[in-house]
Amino acid sequence: MATATQRPKVVIVGAGFGGLSALKTLGNKAVDVLLVDRNNYHGFWPLLYQVATGQLDSASIAYPIRGLIHSYKNADFQLADVSGVDFAGKQVQIENGAPIPYDYLILAAGSAQFYFGNDALAETTFSMKDVDQAEELRNHVIAAFEKAQTETDPEKRKQLMTVAIVGGGPTGVELAGAYVELFKYNFKRDFPSLDMAQARVILIEAMGNIMLPFSDPAIKGPSPLQKSTAKVLEDRGVEIMLNAAVDSVADNVVNFKDGRTLAAGTVIWAAGVRGAMLGDKLGLTLQRGARVQVNEELNLPEHPDVFVVGDMAYLEGFKWGDRVMAYPQVAQVAVQMAKQAAENIMVIAAGGQPSKFKYKDKGSMAIIGRNAAIVSSSKPIPMKMGTRWGTFFPGWVMWLVVHVMFLQGWRNRFVSIFNWMFNWMNKDRGVRVMTGKVDEKTEKLIAS
């Protein structure tokens, strides 16, 4: 409840990296904060692929939002699905409930899967944007192998044992790396009557190289990090298809634009990202990727009391070689934008002038699998860490440390570290259980 007089009420939509960063910045300050999300937890999406591949339970990457507001006397949470914003009336509209008034608004609703205009793909493929989808994907892959055990037609059996991942970016790479390990170390023991040599993991990329975010503007063609990522994946058994644009997916067959086809019991769409659907409902002109154009101060030109940050926001200023591009849809951008937006709100509320967003690039990292991760620094020249060390081991250790640091809550950190130790020592996956939501495709498969 906002007190009547001076304290302005800030509503934050979205409890991802951006939303939490804004909460932290505004916590115990001279404003009232209401965080709104359709889930009651903060999902740590960098580890979502581990839920999909049976390495972590979903509770380890889902932290109750209300546990995060305990430390702030000026903050509360409301579980609601935001359906729009009444800019004139200064109200956030929600599904099934009274609109929420605001003095200042921070929209940090993140991103959604993008199908390049072919939305039928949402029905015929799996995606991995939240905990429930990751559990659905895990359940489907397990169900496909269970089905394979009793399948007598050898072609159908091979199909069931094939996972196709569309999109050779970081998500596709981490999934591909994790699935070959799951099959090689676990399913091999789990399914003694299946010939695991027939299990396939295929990474499909429309462009000429995987891992575009790790390309080097100074190099024509793949960077050393891109090349070595591909080599590690192939050495471990992932099949990489380059220049392979997907036209459609139907009945567990991937149809490529060049006429090729691929039968796969599980098809995962990890190819496109767009700003959250909420962007469409704001009545604003959207930029490329359905992202909302913001001022350099991160607020809307038309509504200076409304800030948009993170994956939803479109702002140019990211330097890549000689080019200047929009800030990428990564956690670091969301965290830093949200902090700046929150600080700007406090400055404006105090009658001052907001500051322009300045990005401090802390580099990026991606995991390929057991003992292997790549790290690139903020400078355009990627660190040679991966290529200098054959196993990518230092990059992997760094990846683990950074991800544990950013996980919310000691319980989750401890349980995750234990799970990883257990997985690493035993080459085991403790969480290969079919619980939670089951996709229609999986129900159909089980009933077939």
Of 105-113, 170-178, 191-199, 260-268, the segment contacting a copy of itself by CB under 8 A is 191-199
DSSP bridge partners of 255: 248, 261
Per-residue binding letters, 416-435, with a copy of itself (x by CB under 8 A) = --xx--x-----x-xxxxxx
Residue 1 binds a copy of itself (CB under 8 A): yes
In this structure, is the dihedral angle defined by the CA atoms of residues 426, 179, 334 and 136, taken in order, positive or negative?
negative
Minimum gap (Å) between residue 138 Cβ and a copy of itself: 11
Looking up tokens 């059996």, which residue turns up?
157
Of residues 190 and 296, the one with the C-beta less far from a copy of itself: 190
> How many residues lie near a copy of itself (CB under 8 A)?
55
Of residues 28 and 377, the one with the C-beta less far from a copy of itself: 28
Q: Inter-axis angle of helices 224-236 and 170-181, to 10 degrees?
A: 30
| Candidate residues 3, 5, 70, 153; the one interacting with a copy of itself per rule CB under 8 A | 70
Helices vs. strands in the chain: H and E counts, helices first: 14, 26
Of 96-104, 118-126, 228-236, 328-336, the segment contacting a copy of itself by CB under 8 A is 96-104
Active site residue 297: no
Residue 384 binds a copy of itself (CB under 8 A): no
Q: Three-class SS of residue 125?
A: coil
- CA dist 137 and 143 (Å) reads 10
Looking up tokens 């939490």, which residue turns up?
20
Residue 406 binds a copy of itself (CB under 8 A): no
| Candidate residues 124, 149, 198, 255; the one interacting with a copy of itself per rule CB under 8 A | 149
Burial class (CB in 10 A: 0-12, 13-18, 19+), 109: buried
Of residues 61 and 206, the one with the C-beta less far from a copy of itself: 61
Q: Three-class SS of residue 128?
A: coil
Burial class (CB in 10 A: 0-12, 13-18, 19+), 273: buried
| Candidate residues 263, 415, 420, 424; the one interacting with a copy of itself per rule CB under 8 A | 415
Minimum gap (Å) between residue 154 Cβ and a copy of itself: 16
- CA dist 362 and 298 (Å) reads 20
Contact 24, 119 (CB under 8 A): no
Q: Residues in the site for a copy of itself, rule: CB under 8 A?
A: 1, 39-41, 57-60, 62-64, 66-67, 70, 76, 78-79, 95-98, 131-132, 135, 142-143, 146, 149-150, 189-193, 409-412, 414-415, 418-419, 422, 428, 430-437, 446-448
Catalytic annotation, residues: 174
